Every structure is written in structure tokens, then in C-alpha cells.
């Protein structure tokens, strides 16, 4: 345990976050996401929800301010009537750490998968909400 670091941030996850550089991407995957088959680096966070992980990560992780939308979500598949309420849970969490945040990028399912395959790491959560997958693009800490 460390002071100021959420206990949901595992040693493996903190190492990954520290190794990431500007422009690298982290996928926070829900429980249905094919994380093991997509990940270059897989970090398990079984039993933890995506909002809890997002909140803990954004305390440490700067978002890329050089792109219009540094956070991407997987769009609902056409024909699926599901309304992902979890997206509205994400918004205040992001705003808490990034006051300039405007909106998410929404990506078609297979385009999201292709981008996830190129991500620095995939964090596999225990999230049960549908369409809870999220990609964060790392920014810089300005001195």
C-alpha cells in the first residue's frame, strides 16, 4: 500500500501506468470484452467495476490534451435497443479530473476492437454493464 494511491490500483497496474508514454492508450474492459485475445499486455481487475477503476486511474493519469477526444467508448451495435447508462456515470468522473473534458468519442464495435489490439494494455474488469468498455489516451504532465 502507498499513501495517496487507491487500493484498487494493483502493483501490476501502477507499473503499466508508469511505463505508458504520451499517446499510449489503456483499455478498461467490461466483463464481456475479449480481453485476453486482444491485449498486448493484460492486467486483471476481477471484481472491480469500470467506474471505480476509471476514478482511481484518472487520479494519476493525465488525458491527452492534444487530441479533441482522448476518451473513446464502444457504440451500441445497430439494432440493439440497449441504452448504456454507465456512460453517464463516466461523465462526472472524467470532469472531476479533467475540467476541459467535452465529450466522448463513440466507436463502432469492430473499430473499437482493432484500436484495442494496438493499445498499450487492456485492464480486464469485472464490470457487468453492457457497453462499458472505454479507451483512455495518455497525455503529459506539464511542469
> What region does 99 belong to: left with phi over 0, alpha with psi -120 to 50, or beta?
alpha
Q: 25-69, pLDDT tens digit by residue? A: 999 999 999 999 999 999 999 999 999 999 999 999 999 999 999
DSSP-assigned beta bridge partners for residue 138: 63
Q: Which domains does the chain have, with CATH numbers?
A: 21-137 (3.40.1650.10)
**Whole-number pLDDT of residue 90:** 98
Q: Which helix (H) or strand (E) holds 125?
A: strand 121-125
pTM of the model: 0.96
Q: 87-126, pLDDT tens digit by residue? A: 999 999 999 999 999 999 999 999 999 999 999 999 999 9
Q: Is 120 a catalytic residue?
A: no
Quote the CA–CA distance of 19 and 77 in Å, as a whole number.
33
128 band by pLDDT with thresholds 50, 70 and 90: very high
* Active-site option among 5, 15, 19, 22: 22
- Nearest CA to 27 out of 142, 132, 133 is that of 133
Query: What single-letter DSSP state applies at residue 19?
Result: H
Amino acid at each position: 500500500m502507498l499513501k495517496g494511491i487507491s487500493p484498487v490500483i494493483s502493483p501490476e497496474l501502477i507499473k503499466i501506468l508508469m511505463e505508458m508514454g504520451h499517446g499510449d492508450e489503456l483499455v478498461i474492459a467490461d466483463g464481456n470484452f475479449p480481453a485476453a485475445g486482444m491485449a498486448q499486455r493484460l492486467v486483471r481487475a476481477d471484481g472491480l467495476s469500470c467506474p471505480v477503476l476509471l476514478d482511481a486511474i484518472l487520479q494519476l493519469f493525465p488525458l491527452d490534451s492534444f487530441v479533441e477526444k482522448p476518451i473513446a467508448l464502444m457504440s451500441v451495435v445497430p439494432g440493439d435497443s440497449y441504452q448504456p447508462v454507465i456512460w453517464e456515470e463516466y461523465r462526472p468522473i472524467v470532469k472531476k479530473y479533467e475540467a476541459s473534458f467535452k465529450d466522448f468519442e463513440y466507436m463502432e464495435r469492430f473499430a473499437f476492437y482493432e484500436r484495442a489490439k494496438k493499445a498499450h494494455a487492456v485492464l480486464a474488469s469485472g464490470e457487468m454493464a453492457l457497453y462499458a468498455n472505454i479507451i483512455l489516451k495518455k497525455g503529459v504532465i506539464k511542469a
